[in-house]
A and B are shown apart, each in its own frame.
Chain A
């Protein structure tokens, strides 16, 4: 019986695990530090336990390749969804400017849930006015506060990631094939088990590419959230608008990413 992709692709990280069960619907979060026994000597020194991206593939080569191909497709879908989120936000903002403030736009004739949630969150911010411009968590509803907490954890994580590096490893039925340490600057150190077949080498190289692109997509998501917040703050027209809009933008993007992929 085939395992679910999240049983194969795992992300060991103590911080992000507190706020999300998976990364991009692909990497299952494991809320423990990467196992110490995996570490090999490296010049990529760090003072903290780095996150670990691990693929534990089945022994049958064609099934292992199938899982990797499926994961690559899922990641590609997430990257396309980010582009889609940009278009949908533009439609949303245009609708707000054209009509009643924070009404619900229609996408392709149907009411889209991320837009609906975004409208609700922005209304929370807007109707909470004018008490204060900061420290608003106390009077704004739970949706905003929850999104803000998630975003703050991701931002703090981002700061730490900028200083450290990550591990990527590939296993076949729990047996280690290759392990790579990657720094933010692109420093790469890979240890291979000697005697691997070209197919086995390729399994780790695809896992490495998958992990790095996932990390890249995670960062792009954050960048996009801040760009969206700038745009949404113009709708809010209130002090601290960007900070107030940021959690709503973050939640909007994540809801778009969580939507089922539309057929091409």
Chain B
């Protein structure tokens, strides 16, 4: 049992180390689906609302939700973008916590 435990620790540490080396970019996507009145929601038909890509080097790319307004102008759909931005905030906070936890785990498992 102790040997199995040691192997499990070593394997977990190796996988975490591989993961930590591989986090260069984070992508947040928000999509929507329409719900039919007479059928279940088909989430496979989801369509995009917005996408944000955040790189570790500080670069970021945002694809905004726009809708056509008067005179051919476009305007941001503020409500949808707000929902997306909250997801981005959640993702950034989560990644910071997870990286911190994973690095601690790696340090502990290899101690």
Contact = CB atoms under 8 A, between A and B. Distances in A.
B1 A185 contact: no
Q: Please classify the interface of chain A as helix (H, G, I), strand (E, B), loop, or mixed, using the class held by over half of its residues.
A: helix
B94 interface: yes
B31 A189 contact: yes
Contacts of B95: 185-186
A192 B35 contact: no
Given A41-B46, A156-B11, A148 B26 contact: no
Contacts of A151: 5, 8
A148 B29 contact: no
Contact of B2 (A137, A155, A194, A230): A137
Interface of A: 38-41, 43, 134-137, 145, 148-149, 151-152, 155-156, 158-160, 162-163, 176, 179-180, 182, 184-195, 201, 205, 208-209, 212, 216, 219-220, 222-223, 226-227, 230, 240, 242-244, 246-247
Given A136-B1, A159-B15, A205-B87, 20 more contacts: A39-B44, A134-B3, A137-B1, A148-B1, A148-B2, A151-B5, A152-B1, A155-B5, A159-B12, A159-B16, A162-B102, A163-B15, A185-B19, A186-B98, A187-B27, A192-B32, A212-B94, A219-B101, A219-B105, A244-B2
Q: Please classify the interface of chain B as helix (H, G, I), strand (E, B), loop, or mixed, using the class held by over half of its residues.
A: helix
Contact of A193 (B1, B18, B32): B32
> Which 4 pairs from chain A and chain B are nearest by CB?
A186-B95, A137-B1, A226-B108, A40-B43
A216 B98 contact: yes
